[in-house]
Amino acid sequence: MRGSISGMALQGSHLVSLKINDLNLGQPVVDLKSLRVRFLQHKTKMKLMVTAVGYGNAEAIAGRSAGSVGLISNGDLAYITCQSAQWQSTCAVLTSQCTNQAEKESGLVRAESGNGKLDKFDQDATFKETFKDLVTLPKPLSISDLSKPPTHGFRLKVAYQGVPGAYSELAAAKAYPDCEAVPCEQFEAAFQAVELWLSDRAVLPIENSLGGSIHRNYDLLLRHRLHIVGEVQIAVHHCLLGLPGVKKEHLRRVISHPQALAQCEYTLSKMGVAREAVDDTAGAAQFIAANGLYDTGAIASHRAAEIYGLDILADGIQDDSGNVTRFLMLAREPIIPRTDRRFKTSIVFALEEEPGALFKALSAFALRNINLTKIESRPQKNRPLRVVDDTNHGIAKYFEYLFYIDFEASMADPRAQNALGQLQEFAGFLRVLGSYPMDMTPIAPALQNIS
């Protein structure tokens, strides 16, 4: 028997419905509800793998049928031949139409009829109806679904600032190895992506061993309501990148993230080039490649060179080989602090102006033998200046500060609870930003290959 197969793509690259018509009868003989089509990216080609499982008219099909096609370019028609004892058929999938919903709805799949001609399937009202049913019907849970861990098939979405090839993307991959990294234009967008449930986590830089603190993220930690749930540190190994064929001597300008420019201060001074700050290191590489800038270099990672097709003109140009950036992992919910492993806690507080106020505040930790790992002060933006009219001496102007402190103890540890109890007596404002496991892994160079 020869019939036609037609399918419809949904959700990126998954073909979710497939219908087989018996051409002799002109009727559907089988409905394949379980069908997986995977597009495997292979360089510029795509490989299409198809596995179909059929139900329905036992005379027409029983069990499993599988078809596959070789390498095809995006946009090609891929012909899938499925065979079983009862029938042989072919369906054509226009692969580029498997990429967006609007296109999908405009006639995704064409069926090859017995005489070899392609029929546009969206003309088939019956098919549309069938498709609608298949998509809207919830898939019943099976016993095997229930025995899987709840996260099965779920890829954590992790927001980071920058474009692919940024160090933050590498940090996201170290923090959450199987995650789907979600690029964001600004730090603020990464915070919002988590708050609005577009991402599950954010991974953002907070300090670098050469360049110091990333102040913007300190300010955003306070402005947003996310919780610090972890930290991750990566060795940042900078390269000088340029268009293929360009020599270091040809460069008149170097662009990169301000932190990266600061971390390569010595090299850049020696080169005597102009420096320009851009949003992220990989974005600098992308900009050069996109605009064909022969006189401009970028400071970025090996991975950025690979992605944007640039040459590495100099390798390891950071001022110190031990160049480490610490990133924070942020989530909507805090984690439950524990004492069976080393934890850090991050807090922010404000103090009333008086002699020794900070000394007293910090003594709460010193008295309990709690190690402070970081202290940062930032202007209190809603109240940056306090003016005191001292009638004898004039008007005194005080800047108001917020203090951010990381200390080495878990909030489950009574020492930390008591220290914060004491601090609260002095602090006009106190917030715990998170209590999270310390990154105890060796500081390996950032992974170069991430999926």
Ligand X SMILES: O=C(O)C(=O)C[C@]1(C(=O)O)C=C[C@@H](O)C=C1
State in angstroms the smallest separation of the CB of 408 from ligand X: 23
Spatial distance between the Cα atoms of 104 and 336, rounded to a whole number of angstroms:
44
Considering only 21, 281, 296, 345, the residue that binds ligand X (CB under 6 A) is 281
Spatial distance between the Cα atoms of 203 and 181, rounded to a whole number of angstroms:
9
Residue closer to ligand X by CB (options 92, 260) is 260
Tokens representing 48? 């299409």
Query: Is residue 325 annotated as a catalytic residue, yes or no?
Result: yes
Residue closer to ligand X by CB (options 127, 167) is 167
Q: What x-and-dash track marks residues 352-371 binding ligand X by CB under 6 A?
A: --------------------
State in angstroms the smallest separation of the CB of 159 from ligand X: 12
Region 117-146 residues binding ligand X, contact defined as CB under 6 A: none
- Region binding ligand X by CB under 6 A among candidate stretches 44-52, 119-127, 257-265, 364-372: 257-265
318 interacts with ligand X by CB under 6 A = no
State in angstroms the smallest separation of the CB of 108 from ligand X: 38
Spatial distance between the Cα atoms of 218 and 362, rounded to a whole number of angstroms:
19
SS3 367: coil
Which one, of 382, 436, 372, 379, lies nearest residue 403 by Cα? 379
| Residue located via tokens 């394949």 | 32
Burial class (CB in 10 A: 0-12, 13-18, 19+), 102: exposed
Residue closer to ligand X by CB (options 16, 206) is 206
Residue closer to ligand X by CB (options 89, 208) is 208
Beta carbons of 407 and 370 less than 8 angstroms apart: yes
- Region binding ligand X by CB under 6 A among candidate stretches 21-29, 280-288, 357-365, 414-422: 280-288
260 interacts with ligand X by CB under 6 A = yes
Residue of 267, 296, 325, 345 marked catalytic: 325
Spatial distance between the Cα atoms of 121 and 112, rounded to a whole number of angstroms:
10
Give every strand in the sheet of 109-112, ordered side by side: 77-83, 88-94, 109-112, 118-120
One-letter amino acid at 379 equals P
State in angstroms the smallest separation of the CB of 188 from ligand X: 14
257 interacts with ligand X by CB under 6 A = yes
State in angstroms the smallest separation of the CB of 285 from ligand X: 10
Which one, of 28, 10, 80, lies nearest residue 51 by Cα? 80
Residue closer to ligand X by CB (options 162, 242) is 162
Please report, for residues 198, 220, 239, the alpha-carbon distance to residue 181 in angstroms, rounded to integers and kept in the order given.
Answer: 12, 20, 22
Within 8 A by CB and 6+ apart from 372, the residues are 362, 365, 405, 406, 407, 408
CB count in 10 Å sphere of residue 78: 23
Q: What x-and-dash track marks residues 292-311 binding ligand X by CB under 6 A?
A: --------------------
Considering only 108, 214, 226, 411, the residue that binds ligand X (CB under 6 A) is 214
- DSSP-derived letter for residue 125 is H
Region 324-353 residues binding ligand X, contact defined as CB under 6 A: 325
286 interacts with ligand X by CB under 6 A = no
Residue closer to ligand X by CB (options 235, 271) is 235
State in angstroms the smallest separation of the CB of 244 from ligand X: 22
Spatial distance between the Cα atoms of 432 and 444, rounded to a whole number of angstroms:
30
Residue closer to ligand X by CB (options 260, 348) is 260
Q: What x-and-dash track marks residues 219-238 binding ligand X by CB under 6 A?
A: -----------------x--
Spatial distance between the Cα atoms of 239 and 314, rounded to a whole number of angstroms:
6
Residue closer to ligand X by CB (options 280, 413) is 280
213 interacts with ligand X by CB under 6 A = no
| Residue located via tokens 């580029």 | 96
State in angstroms the smallest separation of the CB of 259 from ligand X: 4
Give the 3-state secondary structure percentages of the chain, helix then strand then coil, rounded to 5.
25, 40, 35
Q: What x-and-dash track marks residues 143-182 binding ligand X by CB under 6 A?
A: -------------------x---xxx--------------
Tokens representing 335? 């984690």
Residue of 327, 343, 349, 426 marked catalytic: 327
> What is the phi/psi pair of residue 32, to 5°?
-95, 110
One-letter amino acid at 242 equals G
**Count of residues of this chain found to bind ligand X when the rule CB under 6 A is applied:** 15
Catalytic positions are 325, 327
The residues that touch ligand X, with contacts defined as CB under 6 A, are 162, 166-168, 205, 208, 214, 236, 257, 259-260, 280-282, 325
